[in-house]
Amino acid sequence: MSIGNQSVPSAASSITSSAGIVIIGAGLAGWHVIDAIRAKDKDISITLITADSGDRYHKPMLTMAISQNKRASDLVRATGVDAAKAAQVTLLANTHVTDIDATAQQLQLISALRSDPVYTNYATINYDKLVLAMGAHPIFPKSLPEDLVWHVNHIERFGQLQEKLATGSQHIAIVGAGMVGTEIAEDLLKAGHQVTLIDLNDAPLSQMLPAKATARIAEAVKSQGINFLGGCQVSGITRISDGSNDVNNDGKLQVSYESVSSSVENAEAQQFEPLIVDHVIASTGLTVDDKLPTAAGVEFNRRTGIEVDAPTLRTTTANIYAIGDCMSINGVACRYVAPLRAQAATIADDILGLEHGGYEHKPPMIRLKNKAISVMVTGVPQANGNWQVATESDDELIMNLLDDNNEVSATVTIKAPVTPNV
């Protein structure tokens, strides 16, 4: 059997002679673990398993790359093959892990490129230490059928969307006005497209920040020319044929939506005329697939991810660690890039049996990458809480979130963009 670029034995045998360290997932988190281990040990056996090619790229760039006219290939820093060779890693690309036997410390694999799973033999691989770095996946509500909706959580889908958008100015609806949706909206607008941003809340970032802060963000978004539909939810999407015989013509999409706002002015406006758009992008949150965590017997929540011991990043199952988007600490998902290096360093030291002070989770500074308004958040923000104004002017708003002891647990700073001198 062939898995990725490797010739794989039958299910009764193992791919590698020594089990060593196995990492599932070749995103930023997985590669950071490899970097951290190789900084301390050049020889220990490492196997990297990924459902894609394993190419190294910086995922946060996806929300600002279209306006920069960057293709997916432009964002790749190193191919998976080249990166694996440089790090002396066994790369099993285009490979799915279908099962984890934590007692035997064994994984079951199958090619992600298989044409028919009925006639595909499985292979197995053993591990001494296992690192789960498989990330999280976009949530698609029933009203957003996956075959009609894009997401930009992965470079492959980004590349496909970028090709579609390269043909000229188009109308794109973005569902979800969190950090990612709001950033993509501005990026697409700068690229010359018409953008409609739809969210259940009355303003962008409303699940994170108080209304006084989000009102300024909404105003900035609208001032750019983005059509923001707050307090609305998509009820359905259908494809409209334009009668063309061109097999490459996907036609338009009809987006039906309705009001969910309880405000007086919108109380009677429950139904709206459908939007006619070229594409729909879903930015409706992330979830962690439960198949592998369940098989491994680790403590897990589908929304927040795999629970780990904060100082070591060990899961509740022996010899298994978790990092990145698939991980949570004290019930809180850890889906930011900034802490990954420290997390990877802790895992590397713990796996290699080196003394370490333990990982100390510090919420990273969050910056909205939009040019229309400067938004910076520190601490652990939550929309519903005791937010107090520290500074308020036309150009700046600073608010602090106070906990039960009147201590500051989060701060948001919003500033109007600086207009350059002409």
Domain regions of the chain by residue span: 2-136+288-351, 155-282, 366-415
Give the up-direction half-sphere exposure of residue 409: CA atoms within 13 A in the CB hemisphere: 15
d(CA 220, CA 375): 11
Residue 420 has a pLDDT of 53
To which H or E segment does residue 145 belong? none
Which residues make beta-bridge pairs with 219? none
Residue 362 has a pLDDT of 87
d(CA 279, CA 221): 20
What are the tens digits of pLDDT across the range 89-144? 999 999 999 999 999 999 999 988 865 555 556 799 999 999 999 999 999 999 99
Q: What is the pTM of this model?
A: 0.88
Three-state DSSP at 253 gives strand
d(CA 18, CA 11): 17
Residue 46: both structure tokens together: 């490492």
What are the tens digits of pLDDT across the range 349-397? 999 999 999 999 888 899 999 999 999 999 999 999 999 999 999 999 9
Q: What is the dotted CATH code of the domain comprising 2-136+288-351?
A: 3.50.50.60
Residue 255 has a pLDDT of 97
Residue 11 has a pLDDT of 34
Which residues make beta-bridge pairs with 252? 240
Gyration radius of the chain over CA positions:
23
- Contact between 315 and 323 under an 8 Å Cβ cutoff? The reply is no
Let me know if the fold of 2-136+288-351 is the same as that of 366-415: no
User: Does domain 155-282 match CATH 3.40.50.150?
Assistant: no
**pLDDT < 50 stretches in the chain:** 1-14, 16-17, 245-249, 263-264, 266-267, 269, 421-422
Residue 171 has a pLDDT of 98
Residue 176 has a pLDDT of 97
To which H or E segment does residue 69 belong? none
Q: Beta-strand (E) ranges in 343-405?
A: 366-368, 374-379, 386-392, 396-402
User: Does domain 366-415 match CATH 3.30.390.120?
Assistant: yes
Residue 16 has a pLDDT of 45
> Exposure of 27 by Cβ count < 10 A (0-12 exposed, 13-18 middle, 19+ buried)?
buried
